[in-house]
Amino acid sequence: MKALGSLLLLLGFGAIWLGELRRRQRETETLDELITALEELSAGIRLTRTPLPRLLRQVGRSRRNEDVMVWLTGAADSLERGESLRPAWENACRRLPIEDDAQGIVAGLGYRLSGDETEICKGISLSTDWLRKRAEERRKEKRDCFRQTTAVCFSAAALLLILLL
């Protein structure tokens, strides 16, 4: 019975460890895809002068990341329903599985999207630069986090095993 309990404890802590690693990986992938989507959006605004809802849909369709695709199409849907740009953009940004500071940067971009072409592209460029730096920081943190999460989860599991036995 003790061996079965110990095995279940190890499996539980292993599941927590794996879940945390997957969450961090998903966030990093979302940041990368978000940067690419914003750069495509900027290029579309600059080159094609397509209306924003249609451009958001086009960029959203080309996304591999489900979260970014839902974000872009959600913003496009809200705009097509007649919602104003800033609230539609901010509401769509709440669905992104990224940190609050990165979410705030992307949501704040909604204020710049209503300006002229130069202002919009400048705002997107500033946002993508910040997101790129944050994604790079996340990659550097990933290795340390992997070690720390592994140590905490399996040390706690070992401690509980010792206490149970």
- pLDDT > 90 fraction of the chain, expressed in percent and rounded: 17
Q: Residue 28's domain is classified under what CATH number?
A: 1.20.120
Domain count, the chain: 1
Buried b (16+ CB within 10 A) or exposed e, 62-100: ebebebbbebbbbbbebbeeeeebbebbbebbeebbbee
Contacts of residue 142, defined as CB under 8 A and 6 or more positions apart, other chains included, come to 24, 25, 28
CB 25 within 8 A of CB 122: no
Q: 106-145 pLDDT, tens per residue? A: 988 888 887 788 888 899 999 999 999 998 888 887 777 7
**Per-residue model confidence (pLDDT) at position 165:** 64
Domain of 62? 2-164
